[in-house]
Amino acid sequence: MSKWIFKILVFPLLYFISIWPFWLLHAFSSFFYLIIFYLIGYRKAVVIQNLKNSFPEKSEKEILAITKQFYKHFCDVIFETLKLYTISKEDLAKRCTFSNEALKTMNSFFDKGQSIVGVIGHVGNWEWGAISHQIYFKQLITGVYHPLSNKSFDAFMLKLRGRFGGNIVPMNGLYKELLTLRQKNIPTTIGLIADQTAPPESAYWTTFLKQDTPVFLGTEKLAKKFNYPVVYLPITKIKRGYYQIDAVIITENPKDLAEGEITKLHTLALEKNILQQPAFWLWSHRRWKHKRPANLK
């Protein structure tokens, strides 16, 4: 799609949708769910197979119920993410909150100017979760992203994610940016999503949701290189359009842990987060498309 078509047609439409009140957004989300689930069947086979492999003890009826709940939530996340274009800080702070314990945990680092590695998964509304940091805390967040192939949509998403400030950098420029921030004595929270599919040969392999799973070692490598504490931030869906974020300290002294231990621990924290509300993880992701290489068994 050309950038001019995006600017003339798509961008105004997305802006128009973003100004809708939440009751209308969620009404359209429910309608969109009917199309995605019943007519298009977007990655339905992938979702169902992922759920069956992760919950072999559940019946077909239970799997179907979780599948439907997932697609309803998935559609909500799409429309709620578009809302980021015009939502006020006050409204987002009301709808995506940090628990009192999470505020205490995070501020225990921030009050002493400590940089940390903050890890989330594609659970709840991860876009809201990442941006909420910029509302609740004064500490800079350095969000890491992979540029999208569509340049116009990439620019649109960067605009959404940067509305309330923050420092958004591509993965290939992260180390340089962190070194610059350290030289300038600017503490930051490195925001990472840790449930992407890692290349099998360079991954840390573990059992995740009852399956052999490759996990990126990037979180661990960053933490050890800079000796920054690692905090996993579980996101819970309280009700439609409302989320709560908690904080679990993985380690305060990453260099003291054995190789692979940080990766194992934040993956376990993600798994616990998913198991508490199974329908609200991104099951349409082809998470288990790789097999463990024979030399790593």
pLDDT at 105 over 70: yes
Q: Tell me what pLDDT residue 18 has.
A: 95
Residues 20-70 pLDDT 10s = 999 999 999 999 999 999 999 999 999 999 999 999 999 999 999 999 999
Residues 6+ apart with CB under 8 A from 259: 220
Report the alpha-carbon distance of residue 15 to residue 228 in Å, rounded. 38
3 sits in which H/E element: helix 3-5
pLDDT at 245 over 80: yes
What is the pTM (predicted TM-score) of this model?
A: 0.93
Residue found by looking up tokens 């000796």 in the block? 227
Q: Where are the domains of the chain?
A: 88-296
Percentage of the chain exceeding pLDDT 70: 99
Confidence of residue 197 (pLDDT cuts 50, 70, 90): confident
Q: Tell me what pLDDT residue 1 has.
A: 52
pLDDT at 155 over 90: no
Confidence of residue 157 (pLDDT cuts 50, 70, 90): confident
Confidence of residue 228 (pLDDT cuts 50, 70, 90): very high
Q: Tell me what pLDDT residue 260 has.
A: 95
- Best CA proximity match to 231, nearest among 136, 131, 104, 57: 104
Residues 6+ apart with CB under 8 A from 73: 237, 279, 280
Residue found by looking up tokens 């904080």 in the block? 247
